């Protein structure tokens, strides 16, 4: 293993198709028109010295080190800012250039500490490299003059330092913050000798607008911006390319290692989802993998009130198999089930559903997509024929209009949000449909053309009103519809949306959005060029979540915005492998590749492969499992990598259901909240400890590669395999690659996927098969997967959750940039610096009415339950709407959310809960009881004392 060194070409590649040929140091070089001389030279193998240039950023031309001579041109132009031209004769190394470069380097070094041997960047410093490259042998100016060597060091950020004494003011960090991240948190303050990098208005990094994405650290050519982990550990000696285990963007990273210790995670430029960018979670928040809270030994207990008893893997596995078989013998084969994890690999989720179907003999398997994107699967399959997004992320570069509904990309999918913001800065128009004024509405150099702040729960009314405008104002792409879509369903839909009852004027009373704003947004979407829709859980987590997904698909079809780059319907998946867990047959009604369990031909494939007869009836979904537990017909559950007590709605109901079961097996990294109600704990493995694949929101299958041994002894797939064997199911995979081979054998969309193919291509987007051997970036080109696109009538049905005198406000929940889902990982990192507790956002008007001040403890109560947390007063939320996150178990926001759910999929209605807010003195009695109960539930017996 070696350290992967990516070539830095100095300036970005161009997309030009025309080529030009020039001479560099006597060699002919042919490159696309518009390429810089610096890049052309590098492509020819000639490395021109540079400091301010890097191929992640546009050329800047400030360091004066990359000078070249060009026959027939005066002076020594910078090669980074000088484009190639036909017939140019370029010299990169002449006596004059050598003298010039040495002179420049002398000046840089005269104001730079000479502490290379003790510097954290020793061995990875471009300044050091360039001093060597230009042959610097002396600094004639001495070091006694005025300098910056005593400049203060900013160590406020938990993950990196800013050592101003080492800064050469090349502006790479400033430009990275602008061009790559799009936050514009950094600037160069002062002029001439006083120039210095400044976060926001001279603030410390931690207090500034910096979002800690790491782009500046990555861009820095010196030790000025340096990861604290490198300062502490030293330089890495080998690296492995893997896929981030946080959100559905699925960024590629180089895990840079020293031995089996992670030194840092560096975004991989060849990563097709992230192109070398990262966010604060993937880049820095990996320390949870070695956090002392990790439980590394299997544990058992008879009753959930007992302390845990550490046992061997063999004893734990035998106990699980014995208990599950006992329950089935006493209560029937359908009395147990399993939950697969969207945080685990495709191979692991495939094995869990196989264990359930082939081992348990039923279809009681579900996954956390139940509570997030299950409506996407249903809605897009019904309209387009495939339960997935239609585009790749690169598609956004071709969008002219971007409609974001029910998503907050800068917090939930930050790396993709940076791509989106760049396109918006280039001139694409933005429509935001969201009850909150999310950051995208107004962020540096980006302003939404239209923000439609609709009332929570009215997405379908809004989307149908948009369709009304498109149909009644003659904006339908008739040619596309006639050629690509089902005529009868279109006629039904057209008549439905054209009804005056669905007009923006009629719907304004429902949505709360003025009709004219809706009309303008609809016109822009339909006529603004390539229009792309991006949506998230603000669409799906409603009682009409599936209907809203269908309404989105209707809009795309009616305007012909499907089947080419720049358009499409793009669900932004919350967790890293939500798409993959759904693809792998984690739903109780579907085999892998979304084939219904009643499909005898599909069942036969697995019956042959697994050697068992499969049940043809659908199984229980997660909420149904909990209901069935309470009526006594469901008594055993294997939960891999999910914390349903914290993440699922109506905590009281969930806890009651789990408490009613006889054998709950939690397989996780930590004793999470669900483990408080478990009888068996199996220690899980982090993404750093196993091989496998994740599938991101653009259907991209990327490799997860093991960089350290499983800390508890078994990777998750090995533990599942052990349970299967103990239950008499033959599973004998030697490596996850063999599991993928089985997936490819049995799953048409994955027929061409193998670890060899992934190693060769880096990643592939399914469908990957004989027809598309290198994958499918854009779906539905020429024809929909189902043949003709199906329009579906989307009648608005108000939720049963209503406000009233007792509960007059609407609560909507979501996430924040620095934390991830239930926070099990990010709360065990320094990310909690930015979000140490859940806060309740409340509008100043509502706060004033209740006498609530910013930071006050407030009681948040609904029909389901109540909790207390502190208030944040902000006009980001509209009057009548409050918002909070669900990252912290101390708050347990889901004790307030209800059992209302989507009509088609039972996806919970997290986004609409009627609540009341009142002042409080601190945590509620329930929270105090819960905390005591959680502490008691985590007791581990002291075996030595027995």
Contact residues: other proteins, CB under 8 A? 334, 364, 496, 543, 547, 588-589, 596, 598, 617-621, 624, 627-628, 630-631, 633, 793, 795, 797, 800, 899, 901, 903-906
Nearer residue to other proteins within complex by CB, 599 or 760: 599
Question: How far apart are alpha carbons 878 and 818 in whole angstroms?
Answer: 24
Taking CA atoms, 508 is separated from 465, 480, 799, 935, in Å, by: 9, 30, 17, 49
Q: Provide, rounded to whole angstroms, the least separation between the CB of residue 386 and other proteins.
A: 18
Nearer residue to other proteins within complex by CB, 486 or 742: 486
Q: Provide, rounded to whole angstroms, the least separation between the CB of residue 800 and other proteins.
A: 7
Question: How far apart are alpha carbons 511 and 269 in whole angstroms?
Answer: 43
Q: Provide, rounded to whole angstroms, the least separation between the CB of residue 906 and other proteins.
A: 7
Torsions phi, psi of 401, nearest 5? -130, 130
Q: Provide, rounded to whole angstroms, the least separation between the CB of residue 507 and other proteins.
A: 17
Nearer residue to other proteins within complex by CB, 204 or 630: 630
Q: Provide, rounded to whole angstroms, the least separation between the CB of residue 285 and other proteins.
A: 37
Nearer residue to other proteins within complex by CB, 588 or 683: 588
Task: Give CA 576 to chain center in angstroms.
Answer: 6
Question: How far apart are alpha carbons 457 and 460 in whole angstroms?
Answer: 8
Nearer residue to other proteins within complex by CB, 657 or 789: 657
Strands of the sheet containing 365-367, edge to edge, are 309-310, 299-300, 680-683, 663-668, 636-640, 336-340, 365-367
Taking CA atoms, 875 is separated from 180, 450, 844, 872, in Å, by: 29, 18, 7, 10
Q: Write out the H or E segment, with its range, that includes residue 433.
A: strand 429-433
Taking CA atoms, 426 is separated from 357, 401, 706, in Å, by: 50, 12, 39
**Which residues are registered as beta bridge partners of 787?**
784
Nearer residue to other proteins within complex by CB, 395 or 624: 624
Find out whether 440 and 430 touch, Cβ atoms under 8 Å. Answer: yes
Nearer residue to other proteins within complex by CB, 573 or 621: 621
Q: Provide, rounded to whole angstroms, the least separation between the CB of residue 432 and other proteins.
A: 27
Q: Provide, rounded to whole angstroms, the least separation between the CB of residue 907 and other proteins.
A: 12
Contacts of 97 (CB under 8 A, 6+ apart): 67, 68, 69, 76, 91
Nearer residue to other proteins within complex by CB, 229 or 901: 901
Pairing of strands 299-300, 839-842: unpaired
Nearer residue to other proteins within complex by CB, 676 or 906: 906
Nearer residue to other proteins within complex by CB, 761 or 793: 793
Token readout for 38 is: 């610096």
Find out whether 122 and 231 touch, Cβ atoms under 8 Å. Answer: no
Q: Burial-class residue 231 by CB neighbours within 10 Å (0-12, 13-18, 19+).
A: middle
Find out whether 661 and 690 touch, Cβ atoms under 8 Å. Answer: no
367 upstream amide cis, omega within 30 of 0: no
Torsion of the alpha carbons at 676, 678, 679 and 682, rounded to the nearest 10: -100
Q: Provide, rounded to whole angstroms, the least separation between the CB of residue 651 and other proteins.
A: 17
Q: Provide, rounded to whole angstroms, the least separation between the CB of residue 643 and other proteins.
A: 24
Nearer residue to other proteins within complex by CB, 214 or 623: 623
Q: Provide, rounded to whole angstroms, the least separation between the CB of residue 348 and other proteins.
A: 24
Going by the DSSP 8-state scheme, the letter that residue 613 receives in this structure is: P
Nearer residue to other proteins within complex by CB, 381 or 757: 381
For the chain, give the longest Cα–Cα distance: 92
Q: Provide, rounded to whole angstroms, the least separation between the CB of residue 492 and other proteins.
A: 9
Q: Provide, rounded to whole angstroms, the least separation between the CB of residue 943 and other proteins.
A: 41
DSSP E strands in 549-691: the ranges are 568-571, 590-591, 595-596, 636-640, 663-668, 680-683
């Amino acid at each position: 293993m070696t350290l992967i060194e990516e070539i830095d070409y100095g300036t970005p590649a161009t997309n030009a198709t025309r080529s030009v040929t020039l001479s560099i140091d006597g060699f002919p070089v042919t490159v696309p028109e518009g390429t810089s001389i610096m890049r052309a030279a590098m492509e020819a193998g000639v490395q021109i010295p540079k400091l301010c240039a890097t191929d992640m950023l546009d050329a800047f031309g400030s360091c004066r080190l990359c000078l070249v001579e060009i026959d027939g041109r005066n002076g020594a132009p910078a090669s980074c800012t000088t484009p190639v031209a036909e017939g140019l004769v370029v010299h990169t190394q002449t006596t004059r250039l050598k003298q010039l470069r040495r002179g420049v380097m002398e000046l840089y070094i005269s104001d730079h500490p000479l502490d290379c041997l003790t510097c954290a960047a020793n061995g990875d410093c471009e300044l050091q490299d360039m001093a060597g490259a230009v042959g610097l042998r002396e600094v004639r100016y001495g070091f006694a003059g005025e300098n910056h060597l005593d400049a203060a060091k900013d160590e406020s950020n938990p993950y990196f330092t800013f050592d101003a004494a080492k800064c050469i003011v090349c502006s790479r960090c400033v430009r990275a913050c602008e061009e790559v991240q799009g936050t514009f948190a950094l600037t160069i303050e002062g002029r001439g000798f006083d120039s210095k990098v400044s976060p926001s208005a001279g603030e410390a990094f931690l207090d500034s607008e910096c979002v800690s994405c790491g782009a500046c650290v990555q861009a820095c050519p010196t030790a000025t911006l340096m990861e604290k982990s490198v300062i502490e550990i030293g330089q890495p000696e080998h690296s492995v390319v893997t896929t981030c285990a946080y959100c559905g963007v699925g960024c590629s990273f180089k895990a840079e290692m020293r031995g089996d210790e992670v030194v840092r995670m560096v975004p991989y430029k060849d990563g097709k989802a992230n192109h070398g960018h990262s966010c604060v979670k993937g880049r820095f928040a990996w320390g949870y993998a070695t956090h002392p809270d990790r439980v590394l030994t299997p544990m058992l207990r008879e009753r959930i009130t007992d302390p845990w008893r550490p046992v061997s893997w063999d004893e734990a596995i035998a106990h699980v198999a014995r208990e599950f078989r006992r329950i089935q013998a006493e209560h029937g084969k359908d009395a147990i089930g399993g939950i697969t994890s969207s945080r685990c690999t495709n191979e692991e989720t495939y094995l869990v559903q196989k264990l359930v179907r082939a081992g348990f003999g039923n279809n009681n398997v579900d996954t956390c997509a139940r509570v997030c994107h299950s409506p996407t699967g249903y809605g897009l399959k019904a309209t387009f024929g495939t339960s997935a997004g239609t585009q790749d992320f690169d598609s956004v570069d071709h969008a002219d209009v971007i409609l974001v509904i029910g998503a907050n990309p800068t917090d939930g999918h930050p790396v993709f949000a940076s791509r989106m913001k760049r396109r918006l800065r280039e001139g694409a128009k933005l429509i935001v449909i969201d009850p909150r004024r999310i950051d995208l509405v107004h962020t540096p150099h980006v302003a939404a053309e239209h923000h439609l702040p609709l009332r929570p729960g009215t997405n379908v009314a809004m989307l149908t009103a948009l369709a009304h405008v498109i149909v009644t104002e003659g904006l339908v792409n008739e040619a596309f519809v006639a050629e690509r879509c089902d005529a009868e369903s279109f006629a039904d839909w057209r008549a439905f949306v054209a009804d005056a009852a669905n007009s923006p004027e009629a719907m304004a009373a429902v949505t709360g959005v003025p009709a004219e704003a809706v009309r303008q947004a609809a016109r822009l979407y339909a006529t603004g060029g390539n229009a792309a829709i991006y949506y998230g859980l603000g669409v799906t987590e409603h009682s009409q979540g599936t209907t809203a997904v269908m309404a989105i698909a209707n809009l795309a079809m009616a305007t012909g915005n499907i089947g080419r780059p720049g358009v499409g319907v793009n669900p932004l998946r919350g967790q890293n492998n939500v798409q993959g867990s759904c693809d792998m047959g984690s739903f109780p009604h579907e085999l892998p590749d979304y084939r219904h369990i009643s499909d005898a031909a599909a069942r036969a494939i697995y019956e042959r492969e697994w050697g068992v007869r499969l049940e043809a009836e659908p199984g229980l979904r997660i909420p149904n499992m909990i209901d069935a537990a309470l009526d006594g017909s469901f008594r055993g559950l294997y939960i891999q990598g999910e914390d349903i007590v914290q993440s699922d709605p109506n905590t009281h109901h969930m806890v009651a259901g789990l408490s009613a079961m006889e054998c709950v097996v939690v397989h996780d990294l930590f004793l999470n909240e669900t483990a408080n109600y478990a009888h068996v704990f199996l220690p899980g493995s982090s993404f750093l400890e196993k091989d496998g694949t994740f599938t991101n929101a653009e259907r991209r299958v990327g490799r997860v590669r093991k960089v350290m041994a499983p800390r508890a002894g078994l990777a998750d797939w090995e533990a599942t395999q052990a349970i299967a064997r103990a239950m008499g199911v033959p599973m004998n995979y030697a490596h996850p690659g063999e599991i993928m081979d089985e997936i490819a054998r049995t799953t048409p969309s994955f027929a061409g996927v193998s670890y060899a193919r992934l190693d060769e291509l880096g990643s592939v987007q399914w469908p990957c098969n004989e027809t598309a051997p290198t994958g499918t970036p854009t779906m539905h080109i020429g024809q929909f997967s189902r043949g003709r696109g199906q329009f579906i009538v989307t009648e608005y049905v108000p939720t049963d959750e209503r406000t009233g005198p007792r509960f007059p406000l609407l609560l909507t929940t979501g996430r924040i940039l620095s934390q991830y889902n239930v926070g099990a990982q990010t709360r065990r990192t320094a990310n909690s610096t930015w979000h140490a507790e859940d806060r309740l956002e409340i509008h100043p008007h509502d706060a004033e009415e209740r006498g609530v001040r910013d930071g006050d403890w407030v009681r948040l109560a609904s029909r389901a339950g109540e909790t207390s947390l502190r208030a944040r007063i902000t006009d980001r939320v509209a009057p009548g709407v409050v918002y909070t996150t669900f990252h912290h178990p101390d708050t347990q926001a889901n004790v307030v959310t209800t059992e209302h759910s989507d009509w088609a999929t039972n996806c919970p209605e997290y986004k609409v809960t009627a609540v009341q807010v009142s002042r409080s003195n601190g945590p509620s009695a329930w929270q105090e009881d819960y905390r005591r109960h959680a502490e008691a539930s985590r007791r581990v017996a002291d075996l030595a004392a027995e």
